[in-house]
Amino acid sequence: MEVKVGVQFAARELTVESAQTAADVEKAVTEALSGKTGVLTLVDEKGRRIVVPADKLAYVEIAESETRRVGFSAP
């Protein structure tokens, strides 16, 4: 799962490759924005935690990771 997080007043977005499902990420975003936790916490594929204050979130984009094709064959 690829998650892109836009942070207010930051020039670049955060891109996280996560093993979490889209539903888990959406639930974490909803809880952070509702004020239950106050922070958005995501875990990447290597087990590292990314914590962003909920009041600084600009956007969150959730997308399935694409498998990369190798070679020159037709799709």
Q: Cα–Cα distance between 46 and 63 in angstroms, integer? A: 18
- Per-residue CA distances from 12 to 23, 24, 25 (Å): 25, 24, 20
**Polymer length in residues for the chain:** 75
**pLDDT at site 49:** 94
Please tell me whether residue 3 adopts helix, strand or coil conformation.
strand
Q: Cα–Cα distance between 22 and 68 in angstroms, integer? A: 20
Task: Indicate the pTM of the whole model.
Answer: 0.78
DSSP per residue over 11-68, as a string?
SS-EEEE-SS-HHHHHHHHHHHHHTSSSEEEEE-TTS-EEEEEGGGEEEEEEEPPPPP
Tens-binned pLDDT, residue by residue, of the chain (75 aa): 899 999 999 999 999 999 889 999 999 999 999 988 899 999 999 999 999 999 999 999 999 866 666 666 665
**pLDDT at site 8:** 94
